[in-house]
């Protein structure tokens, strides 16, 4: 018995002498409510401390407590809170952002010690870049929240806004650190499997489950394709990272010394790894570069984690801040894969009477598997939706989401669900969607497009029109569309009707039949300007140039065999009925003809190795290529024996590419070459698009007149370069305006076969002169060079063009000024 009491006494003494105090809590950003990882938590007046994890949580254990605890982190005001002398307590912190000041670090002798750390990290990039893994797959969880921020009193006094806030008063209000209300408008969660192979470099995301709720969101299938992790790629082992359509240089880019300076702050323990802690900041505050901290493993020189910000001084519009936090984990193959990434994009108020926007993205990856690559055919579509992707219950999400929702996020969900049902909100959100897409969603059909509702020109006078198309709620396999317009001057009815059958959505396969009676213009055909709706709509006002009635019937088939490789073919029957003085000499008879018909079969191949394609409702939408060019090769045959008046062949090659040229900006080029074989009237040839309007368009030669040149064989190169502030950022007074330089170079070689010159008479049968077409000298190219400034008042762009050749042509203008408006970041 005595021995038992003795053991109990010794146990109590030992436990008392080694008793620990536990302080735990969470550190968040007071302005956004988001966690702050990697913050330093320290018992004041001691050396006992710890860092917060990626979710901002900390658990600090100590044998004794001081009177207070302090939390500090770069870019935030240090906070201190009092402690109680109790065994366990919870102390949460909300840190307020501070103005980040970039300091100049002076080293008395020798090289900056941080440079050697960065040099070693850059030299070993290939060892840790995940693109070096032949193939891997992960299970990903993605969460996106979008809020209306800076909801000021002036904004809430608006009548429409008051109707909204009155309804929301019963819900827990979310505010930032200044007490201003935040209105959440979108929230999504996605569970997916992500696949990657390096040779060739291909990616695919299979969305297994997704939950999307948002104001104005009507088509969950389209939205679900872009809310996963496929569009949240942030790899700091690339030299350049694409964010919001801009290219930002990585702190460990190959040319790091041209963009960054560094300071070696400390040597710290992150998990089990000893790491260098470095502060990075751009040499020029307006460059598209990061500022913040990075952790580099002392043994391997691999990135461990990053906390970086793109400050509001950078040459960006409307954006006050972009913040990226990332934690990386080594794989069994060696390279690193980001396992947790958090991104915040804060967009400021355009005017004091408007509101700002705050977008938050969170991605986590687990179940990393390194293995054999999936076959290339597996990657045909970059994003696919699993059956039943949107039918998960709340119980499913509770069991399967990798991170539980916070109280604030639960309040966000409740507010978004309420907000999207408010009539005035639905009215404005549908109105914006109508303006942006051209169509108004009315149940199973969409009405539009609105640019075709009203036009005025010299042929039709006042023209009114209305159209529709069915959407995916009508059918995921059938698409019907139609349009009718009437001109009160020519008293003619115009129409378009089509039916499309989608045979396969995975290997996109469709067949369609269409018929049309419409007014077109030579060189301004609707079919060639469908992607330039503003220029097309403007061209249908005022005086129509070389107008003609087009009666067109077409049968089209297309199929994507593997990712990026699309085959298309069509059979078309066209009647060209001119509304201006037009004649051509018919081959063989030499008779004057004022109209003609063609029967044309066309076959084409299109290949975009990394072109991003979304299935938008019942249509394919291209988001463009990332790095590789898009090739389009087609062959068309006009056949007299199937009812056409003319026999001919056309061969056409088109190439488009976007080029990132590093610190010099971004370039885009389009190469277009074609040849027409056979004797044809000039409307069948290529009538090069000129631009006599005040407005700039990349689709035209901006110093060329309308219908100035036509060719039956040609090659053109159109090159556009965006300096992204590279030049003007260095001009002391101009750089504050955030203007950006642009440059253009357009070159065209072309010619016309003598037979096609001869069949275009210069006089009509009565001997009256008629207008035909201009020709290029095969040895002299058409050249125009341009330069300009964009981002004037964050909207306006002015281009100055010089015409270099063919200055003696009638009406030729050696110099032109073009303006355009654009909302760019």
Question: CA–CA separation, 283 vs 291, rounded Å?
Answer: 10
Higher per-residue confidence, 721 vs 822: 721
Low-confidence winner among 174-183, 466-475, 522-531 (lowest mean pLDDT): 174-183
Question: CA–CA separation, 585 vs 679, rounded Å?
Answer: 10
Chain-centroid distance of CA 762 in Å reads: 50
Question: CA–CA separation, 724 vs 288, rounded Å?
Answer: 9
Contacts of 759 (CB under 8 A, 6+ apart): 584, 585, 586, 587, 679, 680, 681
Q: How many residues does the chain have?
A: 825
Contacts of 272 (CB under 8 A, 6+ apart): none
If you average pLDDT over residues 465-479, what whole number do you get? 90
Q: Could you tell me the CA-to-CA distances from 764 to 583, 586, 594 in Å, in that order?
A: 7, 14, 10
User: What sign has the CA pseudo-torsion 509, 515, 518, 521?
Assistant: positive
The DSSP string of 263-310 is: EEEEEEEETTEEEEEEEEEESSTTSSB-EEEEEEETTT--EEEEEEEE
130 φ/ψ sector (left φ>0, alpha ψ -120 to 50, else beta): alpha
Q: Where are the beta strands (DSSP E) in 563-665?
A: 565-578, 584-585, 592-593, 596-608, 613-616, 619-622, 630-638, 648-660
If you average pLDDT over residues 40-53, what whole number do you get? 82
Chain-centroid distance of CA 488 in Å reads: 42
- What pLDDT does 686 receive? 93
Q: What is the pLDDT of residues 399-452, one digit of tens each?
A: 887 777 777 777 777 777 666 666 666 666 666 667 767 788 888 898 888 878
- What pLDDT does 555 receive? 97
Question: CA–CA separation, 279 vs 110, rounded Å?
Answer: 19
Contacts of 421-424 spanning 24+ positions with Cβ under 8 A:
422/163, 422/164, 422/167, 424/160, 424/163, 424/164
The DSSP string of 462-520 is: EEEEEEEEE-TTT-SSEEEEEEEEEETTTTEEEEEEEEEEEEETTTTEEEEEEEEEEEE
Query: pLDDT band for position 585 (50/70/90)?
Result: confident
- What pLDDT does 625 receive? 82
Structure tokens of 608? 């975009």
Q: Give the SS3 label for residue 608.
A: strand
Which of 460, 379, 398 has the alpha carbon at shortest distance from 202?
379
- What pLDDT does 104 receive? 43
How many Cα atoms are found within 13 Å in the side-chain-facing hemisphere of 669? 16
- What pLDDT does 483 receive? 93
If you average pLDDT over residues 335-356, what whole number do you get? 78
**Contact 521/539 with Cβ under 8 angstroms?**
yes
- The pLDDT of residue 170 is above 60: no
Contacts of 407 (CB under 8 A, 6+ apart): none
DSSP element (H, E) containing 416: helix 407-419
**Contact 251/308 with Cβ under 8 angstroms?**
yes
Structure tokens of 436? 């942006």
Average pLDDT along the chain: 82
Q: Give the SS3 label for residue 658.
A: strand
Question: CA–CA separation, 534 vs 517, rounded Å?
Answer: 22
Query: For 59, which DSSP code?
Result: E
β partners of residue 147: 184, 358
- What pLDDT does 49 receive? 80
Q: Give the SS3 label for residue 423.
A: helix
Low-confidence winner among 8-12, 91-95, 227-231, 244-248 (lowest mean pLDDT): 8-12
Q: Could you tell me the CA-to-CA distances from 654 to 471, 607, 651, 671 in Å, in that order?
A: 31, 11, 10, 6
Find the DSSP H helices in 420-472. Answer: 423-437
Q: What is the CA radius of gyration of the chain?
A: 32
Query: For 583, which DSSP code?
Result: -
Question: CA–CA separation, 708 vs 809, rounded Å?
Answer: 9
**The dihedral formed by the CA atoms of 706, 711, 717 and 722, expressed in degrees to the nearest 10:** 10
Q: Could you tell me the CA-to-CA distances from 114 to 119, 327, 402, 582, 583 in Å, in that order?
A: 9, 21, 36, 74, 76
Q: What is the pLDDT of residues 724-765, one digit of tens each?
A: 877 777 777 777 777 888 999 999 999 999 999 988 888 888
User: What sign has the CA pseudo-torsion 314, 317, 323, 326?
Assistant: negative
Q: Could you tell me the CA-to-CA distances from 629 to 401, 408, 659, 668, 718 in Å, in that order?
A: 38, 44, 9, 10, 14
Structure tokens of 284? 């020029």
Of the chain, the end-to-end C-alpha distance in Å amounts to 80
Query: pLDDT band for position 317 (50/70/90)?
Result: confident
Q: Give the SS3 label for residue 127.
A: helix
Q: Give the SS3 label for residue 66.
A: coil
Question: CA–CA separation, 173 vs 750, rounded Å?
Answer: 65
- What pLDDT does 165 receive? 59
Question: CA–CA separation, 285 vs 287, rounded Å?
Answer: 6
Residue showing tokens 């002391």: 732
Q: What is the pLDDT of residues 693-728, one digit of tens each?
A: 888 888 889 999 988 999 999 999 999 998 887 777
- What pLDDT does 219 receive? 53
Q: What angle do CA 632, 638, 644 make, to 5 degrees?
A: 145
Query: For 542, which DSSP code?
Result: B
Question: CA–CA separation, 560 vs 608, rounded Å?
Answer: 11
Domains observed in the chain: 2-95 (2.60.40.1120), 116-426 (no CATH), 661-825 (no CATH)
- What pLDDT does 345 receive? 84
- What pLDDT does 724 receive? 80
Q: Give the SS3 label for residue 784.
A: strand
- The pLDDT of residue 502 is above 70: yes
Question: CA–CA separation, 247 vs 772, rounded Å?
Answer: 47
Structure tokens of 331? 């794989």
Phi, then psi, of 127 in degrees rounded to 5: -70, -20
Question: CA–CA separation, 322 vs 316, rounded Å?
Answer: 10
Low-confidence winner among 21-25, 107-111, 568-572, 771-775 (lowest mean pLDDT): 107-111
Low-confidence winner among 18-27, 245-254, 364-373 (lowest mean pLDDT): 18-27
Q: Could you tell me the CA-to-CA distances from 746 to 71, 690, 811 in Å, in that order?
A: 58, 12, 19
Phi, then psi, of 256 in degrees rounded to 5: -55, -35
Residue 126: exposed, middle, or buried by beta-carbon count in 10 A (0-12, 13-18, 19+)? exposed
Q: What is the pLDDT of residues 763-816, one digit of tens each?
A: 888 888 888 889 999 999 999 999 998 888 777 889 999 999 999 998 899 999
């Amino acid at each position: 018995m005595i021995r038992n009491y003795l053991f109990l006494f010794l146990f109590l003494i030992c436990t008392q002498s080694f008793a620990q105090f536990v302080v735990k809590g969470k550190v968040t950003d007071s302005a956004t409510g988001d966690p702050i990882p990697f913050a330093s938590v320290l018992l004041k007046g001691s050396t006992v401390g710890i860092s917060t994890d990626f979710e901002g949580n900390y658990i600090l254990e100590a044998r004794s407590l001081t009177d207070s605890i302090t939390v500090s982190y770069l870019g935030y005001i240090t906070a201190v809170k009092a402690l109680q002398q109790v065994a366990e307590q919870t102390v949460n912190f909300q840190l307020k952002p501070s103005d980040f000041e970039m300091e100049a670090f002076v080293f008395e002798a020798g090289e900056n010690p941080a440079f050697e750390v960065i040099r070693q990290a850059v030299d070993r990039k290939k060892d840790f870049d995940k693109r070096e893994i032949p193939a891997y797959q992960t299970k990903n969880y993605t969460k996106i929240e979008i809020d209306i921020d800076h909801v000021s009193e002036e904004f809430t006094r608006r009548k429409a806004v008051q109707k909204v806030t009155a309804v929301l008063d019963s819900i827990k209000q979310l505010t930032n650190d200044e007490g201003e209300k935040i209105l959440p408008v979108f929230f999504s969660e996605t569970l997916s499997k992500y696949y990657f192979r390096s040779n060739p470099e291909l990616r695919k995301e299979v969305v297994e489950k997704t939950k999307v709720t948002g104001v104005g969101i009507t088509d969950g299938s389209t939205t679900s394709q872009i809310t996963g992790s496929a569009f949240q790629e942030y790899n700091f082992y690339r030299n350049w990272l694409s964010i919001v359509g801009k290219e930002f240089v990585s702190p460990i880019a190959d040319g790091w010394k041209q963009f960054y300076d560094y300071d070696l702050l400390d040597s710290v323990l992150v998990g089990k790894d000893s790491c260098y802690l470095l502060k990075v900041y751009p040499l020029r505050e307006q460059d598209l570069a990061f500022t913040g901290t990075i952790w580099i493993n002392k043994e391997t020189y691999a990135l461990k984690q990053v906390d970086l910000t793109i400050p509001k001084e950078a040459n960006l519009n409307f954006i006050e801040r972009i913040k990226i936090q990332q934690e990386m984990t080594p794989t069994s193959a060696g390279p690193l894969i980001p396992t947790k990434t958090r991104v915040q994009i804060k967009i400021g108020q355009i005017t004091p009477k408007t509101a700002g926007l705050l977008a938050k993205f969170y991605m986590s990856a687990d179940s990393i598997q390194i293995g054999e690559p999936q076959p290339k055919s597996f990657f045909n579509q970059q994003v696919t939706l699993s059956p039943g992707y949107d039918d998960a219950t709340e119980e499913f999400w509770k069991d399967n989401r990798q991170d539980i929702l916070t109280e604030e996020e639960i309040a966000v969900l409740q507010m978004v669900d309420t907000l999207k049902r408010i009539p005035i909100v639905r009215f404005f959100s549908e109105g914006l969607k109508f303006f942006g897409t051209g169509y108004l969603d009315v149940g199973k059909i969409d009405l539009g497009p609105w640019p075709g509702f009203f036009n005025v020109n010299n042929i039709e006078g006042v023209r009114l029109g209305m159209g529709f198309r069915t959407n995916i709620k009508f059918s995921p396999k059938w698409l019907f569309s139609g349009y009718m317009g009437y001109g009160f001057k020519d008293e003619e009815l115009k129409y378009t009707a089509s039916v499309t059958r989608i045979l396969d959505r995975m290997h996109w396969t469709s067949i369609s039949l269409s018929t049309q009676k419409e007014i077109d213009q030579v060189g301004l055909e609707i079919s060639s300007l469908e992607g330039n709706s503003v220029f097309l709509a403007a061209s249908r006002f005022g005086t129509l140039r070389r107008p003609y009635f087009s009666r067109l019937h077409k049968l089209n088939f297309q199929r994507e065999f593997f990712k990026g490789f699309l085959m298309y073919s069509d059979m078309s029957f066209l009647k060209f009925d001119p509304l201006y003085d037009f004649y051509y000499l018919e081959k063989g008879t030499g008779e004057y003809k004022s109209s003609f018909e063609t029967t044309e079969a066309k076959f084409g191949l299109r290949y975009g190795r990394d072109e991003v394609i979304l299935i938008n409702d019942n249509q394919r939408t291209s988001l463009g290529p990332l790095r590789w060019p898009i090739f389009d090769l087609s062959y068309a045959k006009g056949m007299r024996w199937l009812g056409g008046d003319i026999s001919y062949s056309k061969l056409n090659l088109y190439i488009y590419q976007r080029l990132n040229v590093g610190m010099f900006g971004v370039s885009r080029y389009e190469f277009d070459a074609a040849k027409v074989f056979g004797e044809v009237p000039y409307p069948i040839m290529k009538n090069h698009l000129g631009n006599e309007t005040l407005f700039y368009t990349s689709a035209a030669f901006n110093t060329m007149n309308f219908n100035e040149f036509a060719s039956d064989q040609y090659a053109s190169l159109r090159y556009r370069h965006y300096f992204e502030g590279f030049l003007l950022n260095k001009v002391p007074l101009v750089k504050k305006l955030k203007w950006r330089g642009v440059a253009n170079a357009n070159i065209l070689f072309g010619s016309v076969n003598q037979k096609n010159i001869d069949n275009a008479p210069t006089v009509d049968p009565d001997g009256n002169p008629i207008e035909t077409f201009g020709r290029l000298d095969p040895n002299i190219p058409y050249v125009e060079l341009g330069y300009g400034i964009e981002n004037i008042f964050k909207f306006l762009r002015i281009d100055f063009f010089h015409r270099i050749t063919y200055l003696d042509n009638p009406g030729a203008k050696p110099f032109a000024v073009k303006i355009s408006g654009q909302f760019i970041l």
